[in-house]
Amino acid sequence: MRRAALIAVPYAWLLALFLVPFAIVFKMSLSDIAIAIPPYTPTLKDGLAEMIRAFDFENYVFLTEDDLYWKAYLSSLKIAAIATVLTLLVGYPMAYGMARAPEEWRPTLMMLVILPFWTSFLIRVYAWIGILSTEGFLNQFLLWTGLISAPLTILNTAAAVYIGIVYTYLPFMILPIYAALDRMDGSLIEAAEDLGCSRLSAFWLVTFPLSRGGVIAGCLLVFIPALGEFVIPSLLGGSGTLMIGKVLFEEFFNNRDWPVASAVAVILLLILIIPIVLFQLNQQKQAEADR
């Protein structure tokens, strides 16, 4: 009974905050748009039998016929994948430096990584507008140093979106990699060097394979939220950046087409299930390895 009660708590949480909302969104995706409140039909007040009879998959068919949606999915996958790789390239050296820093410096370095979370996410993204704009700090600095003769157009481009995603989700990449590197036995590197490996060879043959679990966890923690990102592409990417999060927002709030927006959300969730399952499997493997 105690085991059942213990398991029931997370399952009840999952039922209340995931399965029930998902069922509501899925039900809306099978409905039709209507000029009403709520803006779809049928609803529960029409009766359960009538509601089930009126369900259809025409919204999903519509998504396959309009190239805007599948292009948005592909663009989101590409942007999220590239941003994840860039975050890894920036985050791994930082995590490696933290793991190799003196013991007394590590809490301070950890605090500096977490420090941006003490400020509102929206404010931090807005700050990049002032940095990347034509008259922003970055262009002013580059003009002052003489590296450029005219201001660069960075804001409202894909480059600005990548910068925003890398900056925002960098801690999610650093922390799991740092945790993996911090647990690693330093004597393994010494043994590899004693056997004739150079420092670079020892890194690729010993350090990186042992930190692979943290790399996988960090990549998934960045890729999953970046795929459905809305705020960063809206503020930094402008109208030219096509991502499924922006399309979803416009369908819900601008077009008020809740059935189509719900279908978009359901497909996005199904796409996200794959990296979520991979993340769970990676966490299980790490837990088994720690035992």
14 domain-assigned: no
Identify the pLDDT of residue 276.
80
pLDDT bin (cut points 50, 70, 90) of residue 196 is: confident
Confirm if 73 and 244 have CB atoms less than 8 A apart. Answer: yes
Over the chain, what is the mean pLDDT? 87
9 domain-assigned: no
Specify the number of domains making up the chain.
2
Same domain (yes/no): 190, 272:
yes
DSSP state at residue 40: E
Question: How would you classify the pairing of strands 32-33 and 40-41?
Answer: antiparallel
Confirm if 160 and 240 have CB atoms less than 8 A apart. Answer: no
**Residues in Cβ contact with 241 at an 8 Å cutoff, skipping those fewer than 6 apart:** 75, 79, 156, 158, 161, 233
36 domain-assigned: yes
DSSP state at residue 16: I
Confirm if 151 and 157 have CB atoms less than 8 A apart. Answer: no
State the burial class of residue 190 (Cβ atoms within 10 Å of its Cβ: 0-12, 13-18, 19+). exposed
As beta bridge partners, residue 140 has none
Considering all CA atoms of the chain, what is the largest pairwise distance in Å, rounded to the nearest integer?
Answer: 77
Same domain (yes/no): 42, 177:
no
Same domain (yes/no): 35, 90:
no
- The domain boundary, picked from 7, 40, 56, lies at 56
pLDDT bin (cut points 50, 70, 90) of residue 116 is: confident
225 domain-assigned: yes
Same domain (yes/no): 153, 133:
yes
- The domain boundary, picked from 6, 32, 56, lies at 56
Neighbours of 83 (CB within 10 A): 25
Could you list the residue range(s) of the whole structural domain that residue 176 is in? 62-290
Identify the pLDDT of residue 186.
76
pLDDT at residue 290 tops 70: no
Which tokens hold the place of 231?
A: 């705020």
Confirm if 140 and 177 have CB atoms less than 8 A apart. Answer: no
10 domain-assigned: no
66 domain-assigned: yes
pLDDT at residue 107 tops 70: yes
Confirm if 30 and 57 have CB atoms less than 8 A apart. Answer: yes
Which tokens hold the place of 242?
A: 């096509």
1 domain-assigned: no
Same domain (yes/no): 47, 80:
no
State the burial class of residue 215 (Cβ atoms within 10 Å of its Cβ: 0-12, 13-18, 19+). buried
Same domain (yes/no): 149, 250:
yes
Kindly report which listed range (72-76, 170-174, 207-211) carries the lowest average pLDDT score: 207-211
pLDDT at residue 287 tops 90: no
Same domain (yes/no): 282, 172:
yes
Between residues 213 and 177, which one has the greater pLDDT? 177
Same domain (yes/no): 105, 35:
no
Same domain (yes/no): 41, 79:
no
pLDDT at residue 94 tops 90: yes
**For residue range 255-281, what is the model confidence (pLDDT) as tens digits?**
888 999 999 999 998 888 888 887 777
Neighbours of 136 (CB within 10 A): 17
pLDDT bin (cut points 50, 70, 90) of residue 291 is: low
Residue type, 59: N
Q: What is the dihedral of CA 110, 116, 121, 123, to 10 degrees?
A: 180
Same domain (yes/no): 174, 38:
no
pLDDT at residue 86 tops 80: yes
Integer Cα distance of 162 and 164 in angstroms: 5
CATH number, residue 112: 1.10.3720.10
Q: How far apart are the first and last CA of the chain?
A: 26
**For residue range 127-157, what is the model confidence (pLDDT) as tens digits?**
999 999 988 899 999 899 988 888 888 888 9
Between residues 218 and 192, which one has the greater pLDDT? 218
Side-chain-side CA neighbours of 131 within 13 Å: the count stands at 12
Residue position matching structure tokens 């330093």: 186
Same domain (yes/no): 69, 38:
no
Between residues 63 and 187, which one has the greater pLDDT? 63
Identify the pLDDT of residue 44.
76
Same domain (yes/no): 83, 202:
yes
